[in-house]
Amino acid sequence: MHEHKQNQCKRKVKNRKNVVGLIIFCITVGIVFLYAYYQNLRKEIDARQKWLETVLIGEKRWILENQGSEGEIYMNGSEAGDVNPYFACMAALGLLAETKNCPITETEKKAVGRYLDWHTGILLETDGKMGIYRKESGKLIYKEKVDSEDGYLGMYLFLMGKYLEKTENTDLPEYWKKGISLALKKIQSLMRDGITQVSEENTTAYLMDNLEVWKGLHELELAGLEDTQAISEMRKKIQAQIENIFWDDANQRWRIIGNSDLYDQIEFYPDGVAQIYPLIYEFPVKEKKKQKILYDQFTEKFQWQKLNKKRNGFLWAMTGMAAAQMGDINNLVELIENYETEYCENRKYPLYTGEAGWICMECEKLYRLYERKIKTGFILCA
């Protein structure tokens, strides 16, 4: 009996050792597998990030080629062409995009500074009524008035705030301060019940314009100017009213115009694009789930990443910013790949520098998404 008990004990010890050995083996295999997975992930993401930097450098170079002697940025072609301040701001914002290995260069900073010199000068000359300009006989001439004063002013402040943030510049030229002050006064004069209208003559209030104004105020607030409190109060007022006035709760979608529920489900612009515009400008929607639903519906219906110019005549590369907000890496990659394949070689219409600016900003966003993915992969392996 005693011998039998000893044998049982020996078998138990042996079984225990076998189980422990099996556990150790499984853990070792798991660690090796996770390490291999992380290494492959790191290698794949490194390649993707290098590609993004190549695209970023190329687009910045092209934008710089389209800058004129006075600092103006042309839509496509600096020898003869249009300067639209709204789209020029987008192009200049692209010059401020950067990655870890491709920081903003002094040339790019100076180029944006020169553009802001030109834009501010025109803004002050026209008392805030910016126009669209064309180069004829070597001179820029006024072509036509802008279609939405509030949106144009918002983009100016967006660029100004982003420039001050990226350059950490607090010593502003006096006329820049005057330009900012004028833009803020003009926006305030266009505000009715907490949202802005197109102009003094046109009382229409658009969702898209108001989001651009909100973004401009938000970026300027982050820059930390002397009158930050006044800027913040204006931004908070418009932020509160955007959802209150433009969100159609009955139909669970965004209104294009403040006092209208008109909506065409098959129209890409403005109906469709309006549904993702809050994402494009990083507006803090209270219920994030509803914005995700609208993004998924927009993607399924319009396949924006295909850059189908036949649909509306424009590329609408800005849609990729919504994907960046949603962490939708695959569709954003597809958009940038399609852009590079179809438009980067010949640089023909409908490509213009404003689109290139959005691509630059999306390269920066996608680079960061990849950085986050690497950290997540590292945590899994740790």
**pLDDT (tens digit per residue) in 268-319:** 999 999 999 999 999 999 888 999 999 999 999 999 999 877 666 789 999 9
pTM for the whole structure = 0.89
User: DSSP 3-state assignment of 128?
Assistant: coil
Q: What's at 233, amino acid-wise?
A: E
pLDDT band at 6 (very low <50, low <70, confident <90, very high): low
pLDDT band at 135 (very low <50, low <70, confident <90, very high): confident
Question: Please, what is the angle between helix 288-302 and helix 319-326, to 10°?
Answer: 130
Each residue of 87-122: pLDDT tens digit? 999 999 999 999 999 999 999 999 999 999 999 999
Give the residue with greater pLDDT, 33 vs 183: 183
Which run of H or of E encompasses 68? none
Mean pLDDT calculated for residue range 216-237: 92
pLDDT at 243 over 60: yes
Q: How is residue 53 written in tokens?
A: 């930097």
**Residue-level pLDDT at 31:** 59
- Count Cβ atoms below 10 Å from residue 245 Cβ, excluding itself: 18
pLDDT band at 379 (very low <50, low <70, confident <90, very high): very low
Cα separation, 332 vs 338, in Å, equals 10
Mean pLDDT calculated for residue range 333-351: 92
- Count Cβ atoms below 10 Å from residue 263 Cβ, excluding itself: 17
**Residue-level pLDDT at 336:** 98
